[in-house]
Amino acid sequence: MASKDNSVKSIDDLNIDNKHESESQSEAESQNSSQSSDEDENHIDITLREDIPEQLRPQVDRLKALRARLAESSQNNKRDIYKEHQRQNENPGEQRRQERKRREALILKAKEEHLGEDYERSRFWDYSIEQVENYEEKKRKREANRERGFTDYTQVNQRKYERDVAKLKPDLIAYQRGKAESSTGPVLAIGEPHKPDSRNVDKLVKSIEDQQKRRATLHKPSVEKEGEDVSYINQRNARFNRKMNRAYDKYTKEIRDNFERGTAL
């Protein structure tokens, strides 16, 4: 019976690889107990070893199955978390609108194909060439003005300057007229200072005032009501706190009053 027991190794015994003959049995057992049950002393996965006795094969197979189930469960949890995050960030109204447009497009395409007409060509029958060109031009400008992500403040200021200048539409007719007058006028007119049109000056002043208003709105300091208990760090957090108070104030009012009086347990 003893020889049979000695021939059967446990999983912990597999964690000990070729011990030196001079080590005592107690040292070997203490070292074995401190190691992981899934790896040997050389940090080799037990399930990857080939010298496992047949008696321990079922236990190793069960360990592999448990690991596979754990990995599958982890992947499923991550996928569910991602789907929930996507669902919370979606706009139901926009989804319904896009779905309605998609169904209408499919119905129209099926109708055109049934009549033997080209669906792609029929899409543009309701638009003139000028409208299509204007749309393509606006699309090109949107792509050019789109934020490419933060790189440095120099490029941010450069893009802002270009957008502000693009909003100041120049009067090309007046420019060409002034250019023609200066080129055909007397030589002494070259040294005369240029006086801009009052409308252009007003347009520039209005643009600067609009920029200042936007800047003041972005950096507007938060104003708390007198006597209000400030328990938030920003306006978004304040709105969240107000929602929580509407739902739980009736349960927590007595507790907060006790804390303020100092009678809370």
Domain ranges of the chain: 2-88, 90-124
3-state DSSP assignment of residue 12: helix
Q: Contact at 8 Å (CB) between 79 and 69?
A: no
- pTM of the entire structure? 0.30
Give me the pLDDT at residue 94, please.
Answer: 76
From CA 140, how far away is CA 144, in angstroms rounded?
6
Q: Give residue-wise pLDDT tens across range 142-187.
A: 777 665 666 677 887 888 888 888 888 888 888 788 777 766 655 4
Q: How far is CA 106 from CA 22, 75, 117, 122, 174, in A?
A: 82, 36, 14, 14, 50
Q: In the prediction, which pLDDT does 33 show?
A: 44
**pLDDT tens, position by position, for the chain (265 residues)?**
444 444 444 444 544 444 444 444 444 444 444 344 555 555 667 777 777 788 888 888 888 889 889 999 989 899 888 888 877 777 777 778 888 888 888 887 787 777 777 666 666 677 778 887 888 888 887 777 665 666 677 887 888 888 888 888 888 888 788 777 766 655 455 556 677 778 888 888 988 898 888 888 776 555 556 566 777 888 888 889 888 888 888 888 888 888 877 765 5
- Which residues are CB-contacts of 109 (< 8 A; sequence separation ≥ 6)? 119
Residue 19 has what pLDDT?
44
Q: Is 16 exposed, middle or buried (0-12, 13-18, 19+ CB in 10 A)?
A: middle
| pLDDT value of residue 41 | 56
Predicted pLDDT of residue 119: 64
Give the per-residue pLDDT at 124: 67
Residue in 84, 51, 49, 77 with CA at minimum distance from that of residue 63: 49
Beta carbons within 8 Å of 110's beta carbon, 6+ residues apart: none
User: What is the amino acid identity at position 258?
Assistant: N
Count the neighbouring beta carbons within 10 Å of the beta carbon of residue 46. Answer: 19
Q: Is 45 helix (H, G, I), strand (E, B) or coil?
A: strand
Q: Where are the beta strands (DSSP E) in 160-259?
A: none
pLDDT tens for each residue of 51-71: 778 888 888 888 888 988 999
The secondary element (H helix, E strand) that includes residue 25 is helix 25-34
Three-state DSSP class for residue 181: helix
Res 55: pLDDT: 81
